[in-house]
Chains A and B, each alone.
Chain A
Amino acid sequence: MTLKLQVGTRKGLFIYERNAAGQWTASDPEFLGDPVTMLLHDHRNGYQYVALNLGHFGVKMHRRSGGSSHWEEIEPPRFPVQDSPSVSAESTEAGESVKDAPSVEQIWELVTGGSDEPGVLWAGTIPGGLFKSADNGSSWQLIEPLWQRPEREFWFGGGYDHPGIHSISVHPDNSRHLSLAISCGGVWQSLDGGGTWELVGKGLRAAYMPPEQAFEQRSQDPHRMVRCPSAPDHLWIQHHNGIFRSIDGGLNWNEIKDVFPSVFGFAVAVHPLNPDIAWFVPGVKDETRVPVDGRLVVTRTRDGGKTFETLCNGLPQEKAYDLTYRHALDVDSDGKVLAFGSTTGNLWVSEDQGDHWQCLSHHLPPINVVRFSR
């Protein structure tokens, strides 16, 4: 099947296809001018989903069936309506409640349910809501048991005003086993399809917290968490201040230090068939968030984090200031083809696991998310 690369940007959706000759061609942009915050291709039924953040007009979602060129606007996730505002709502206690009540500001993650749950989708939002759809996105329900957890009071925004759920992983062998990561709110796990939740993540370390709270699980800022589909107990995190790996389903994490040129970054991808292979796009830590010394590189481990290679063939090695967001790195299902995009609008692909890179465009809008599909 044709390999496609969907690229969600600050100014629309761009889709690249690799033809039989191995060349990548771009289609005309869709949703031109609209910020695309998340993409999903449902391999179970061919549906595609696009999440937009229109700024003035709020968060929107669109869906189309496989092979169709027509997008249908569907209901986005919404928080339940709290007390009705009164005439003098702003000055009353009840009014304050309404004033502060949540509203979805961004759809930050979209994943499918398990293969035994046709039609089920999961969405993570800013603020940190987890939503489930059982009907291919036609309607959504807030997962209240997570929203009502008392620890949520201690979550905080990392780069945004409010905390958000950006990583959701459905265990491939058990659709009721969910893992998710929150910036900033740590790593959470449910074993009953979202009915109950446990804060996990021993070993994660937050260098930005007071020293005595560095290992507080609810304060962690995992920038991105991914699970190896073929070895689902193996997960990787690109954290705000480091790289972490778990081999027990996310309960315990081992910090991997001294990775050249930096352990800071947002994105991580894991090989779908080999949990020891993972890729990162490092940068100078948080104050500046640009490539170290202006050299854009990808780092790769093939041995579970014992050693790392610095991959730069085809990437700019001077005066490069590209930042790669947490969803802007992806690996194809065969584990060979990689893509990443940057806030500078550059898009690169590699067809040999990162050894060599080719630039597909230097002129895209800032890239939020890249996703392969077939």
Chain B
Amino acid sequence: MAKVIFTPNLERYLDCPPQNVDAESVAEALAQAFEGNQRLAGYILDDQHRLRKNIAVFVDGIMIRDRLGLSDPVQPASEVHVLQALSGG
């Protein structure tokens, strides 16, 4: 199963332990990771379910390209990192 790992900076606001997911895309992976923790979705996605502007998602070390549809593929052994884009130096 793929693993979704959230930036530890989120722990300040809510629990978000790593999640094992059975997914073929980033959208599916995040949707599963948000199950039972819908509040977390609002920290990662905006009102239109797009990736928030200052959030970056990497799949196996590659930053995803589709920030609107989150269609980038996920493999069974993938690691999906949900991180903060750096700001403020």
Contact = CB atoms under 8 A, between A and B. Distances in A.
A268 to B, nearest CB: 31
Given A57-B10, A103-B47, A85 B69 contact: yes
B54 A56 contact: yes
Nearest to B65: A90
Nearest to B54: A56
Nearest to B27: A85
Contact of A101 (B44, B48, B54): B48
B50 A57 contact: no
A102 interface: yes
A81 B69 contact: no
Given A56-B55, A89-B66, A90-B66, A81 B39 contact: no
B68 A85 contact: yes
A90 B68 contact: yes
B68 A57 contact: no
B42 A58 contact: yes
A108 to B, nearest CB: 16
A87 B71 contact: yes
Interface residues of A, number: 27
Contacts of B55: 56-57
Most central of A56, A58, A78, A104 by chain B CB within 10 Å: A56
Most central of A58, A78, A101, A102 by chain B CB within 10 Å: A58
Contacts of B71: 87
B84 interface: yes
A86 B71 CA distance: 8
Contact of A89 (B44, B69, B84): B69
Interface of B: 9-10, 13-14, 39, 42-44, 46-50, 52, 54-55, 66, 68-71, 84-85, 87
Given A79-B47, A82-B48, A85-B48, 5 more contacts: A55-B54, A58-B42, A73-B14, A73-B39, A87-B69
